[in-house]
Amino acid sequence: MSVINRRNALFGWVVYQVGIRVIKQKAKAAVPTIDTESKRPNKSAIALLVASGVGALTFWKKRSGGGEPAT
């Protein structure tokens, strides 16, 4: 009896398609969005924006900092 046959291939394809849909829905639900009631970004979106800004400033300062030669 063969392990790879049409029935198993079809079953695997169906599981793959359903899995992709579930993963896309979960990813879409995890993304911070704008609150529909107050028309403002929710707290996680604000925290993400602040953290991104701090990271960018830290990177920029480290890259442009100090003209001292390495010893």
Task: Tell whether 20 and 3 lie within a shared domain.
Answer: yes
Task: Tell whether 60 and 46 lie within a shared domain.
Answer: yes
- Listed residue (53, 50, 34) closest to 42, CA to CA: 34
**pLDDT tens digits, one per residue of 27-71:** 988 776 666 777 777 777 788 889 999 999 998 887 776 556 555
Task: Tell whether 27 and 37 lie within a shared domain.
Answer: no
In a domain, 39, yes or no: yes
pTM of the complete model: 0.45
In a domain, 10, yes or no: yes
| DSSP for the chain, written as a single string | --SS-HHHHHHHHHHHHHHHHHHHHHHHHHS--B-TTTSSB-HHHHHHHHHHHHHHHHHHHHHH---PPP-
**How many domains, in total, are found in the chain?**
2
In a domain, 69, yes or no: no
Task: Tell whether 26 and 45 lie within a shared domain.
Answer: no
The neighbouring-strand residues paired with 25 are: none
- Give the structural domain span for 19: 1-31
Q: How many CB atoms lie within 10 A of CB 42?
A: 13
